[in-house]
Chains A and B, each alone.
Chain A
Amino acid sequence: QKEVEQNSGPLSVPEGAIASLNCTYSDRGSQSFFWYRQYSGKSPELIMFIYSNGDKEDGRFTAQLNKASQYVSLLIRDSQPSDSATYLCAVKENTGFQKLVFGTGTRLLVSP
């Protein structure tokens, strides 16, 4: 079973700060990486996806991928209390199927 590891948190940051969320994965052949945001009791919502090494920016969110280190991260700039949620890292297995393997998530708390 391929693994995706995340620190469960909570990660606490003040409003306006940068939140940095990290994820490591075990399948070196993985090609596609996703970040989901999940509010308590709600369904996961896709925030970002990244396929290539380097950074990908979308508004306040930046995804970073380092395949050599098997490491993917999500930066949230100017964090807001509404960003308080659990962030799930997901990795698509290199099997040709669409199976995503999810980490257990990092809980982010943004204090006003």
Chain B
Amino acid sequence: EAQVTQNPRYLITVTGKKLTVTCSQNMNHEYMSWYRQDPGLGLRQIYYSMNVEVTDKGDVPEGYKVSRKEKRNFPLILESPSPNQTSLYFCASSSTTGARGYTFGSGTRLTVV
């Protein structure tokens, strides 16, 4: 089954404790992206990657890091999480053409206390 797999689904952590949210896709997609979703603000892009070793900032990159060492994986790293990073996070992927939009992962609900 074609899918984007995110882990974990839920995460509660404390301020400053480094964490990684994993994302993996099995569709051989070149393009991958991370979004956060907050009430009233919609989906906002954090980082994206056009291919292996090619990443760039989205609209809200502060406090986040990413890497793309393999085509299928695109982890999101919060090196020192803060409460304002409490949000619902989605990983998404698409083919190069983007003709059929994105396929989204099931989401990670992160709470930073």
Binding site for B on A (CB under 8 A): 1, 8, 32, 34, 36, 41-46, 49, 88, 90, 92, 97-100, 102-105
Contact = CB atoms under 8 A, between A and B. Distances in A.
Interface string B70-113: 00000000000000000010100010101111111111010000
B31 interface: yes
Given A1-B59, A42-B107, A44-B90, A99 B48 contact: yes
B42 A102 contact: yes
Contacts, number: 60
Contacts of B31: 97-98
Nearest to B95: A98
B106 A98 contact: no
Interface residues of B, number: 27
Nearest to B88: A41
A79 to B, nearest CB: 23
B89 to A, nearest CB: 10
A43 B105 contact: yes
A34 B43 CA distance: 14
B41 interface: yes
19 contacts: A32-B98, A32-B101, A41-B107, A41-B109, A42-B107, A43-B90, A44-B90, A45-B104, A46-B103, A49-B99, A49-B100, A88-B42, A97-B31, A98-B31, A98-B50, A99-B48, A99-B58, A102-B42, A104-B42
A50 to B, nearest CB: 11
B64 to A, nearest CB: 16
B43 A42 contact: no
Given A43-B90, A103-B42, A98 B96 contact: yes
Nearest to A34: B101
